[in-house]
Amino acid sequence: MTRSDITVAAVGHHPAAVIWDLDGTLVESAPDLASALNTQLSSEGLATHAVSDVRLMIGGGVPKLIERGFAASGVVLNGQAVDSRVADFLTLYQACATNNSFLIPGARYALDRLSRAGVCQGLCTNKPEGVTRQITEALDITRYFGSIVGGDSTTARKPDPTSLLACLDELGVSARQAVMVGDSTADVGAARAAGVIVLVVPNGYTALPASELGADGIVGSIAEVPSALQDPAQLMAAD
């Protein structure tokens, strides 16, 4: 798919819907995720991690974060051992989820501009829905979304397309009328499987450069998303 194919999804000058990822795309949530993870690690006598390191562990949901965090501290957990720690992590995280998380610069501008243009917007994240809504309420962005689908809202997390398709269904928009905006291979994988055009922002929660994520295009910054959807020539090539 080329940059000009972005217009395939367009209704007028914008797509009918934009589906956003949360962590690393709209919200800088790593400080609070790191706080919860480090508290859990400390409670088991394990080494903690810098926020910059935790940023690269995010993606795939809470179980993956726990698995990666413990592995980086020298403890390999099997599936059952990970699952048994999820509830404790969520208790810790819910207590601090809005302490130091903030909107990435340009996010509110992009959300507001698309809203004013009449574009439906949805949120599709691997973060549990409850804490997702806790964060969107604290940051005053819940009102922008016609659908919020979390990692526990459906039977599977991204890169499985189930949650993205559920988000589109709730918005009443087809895959060909939508664009996904994210920052990771999970976002790209879900969009590909759902048949949705996908753009990525740079400097997200991944060790891979944006050019290697396999997206249809790269947006220079989140603030540029609305204008890039109107003029795909603004997108940087993703190959």
Catalytic residues: 21
HSE on the CB side for 6, CA within 13 Å?
Answer: 30
* Residue 26, CA distances (Å) to 11, 60, 104, 125 in order: 24, 16, 6, 11
Nearest Cα neighbor of 50 from 62, 63, 41 is 41
CA angle, 117 then 218 then 161, to 5°: 80
Structure tokens at 181: 């905006």
Structure tokens at 223: 């603030």
Instruction: Name the pairing type of β-strands 17-20 and 178-182.
Output: parallel
Radius of gyration, alpha carbons of the chain: 17
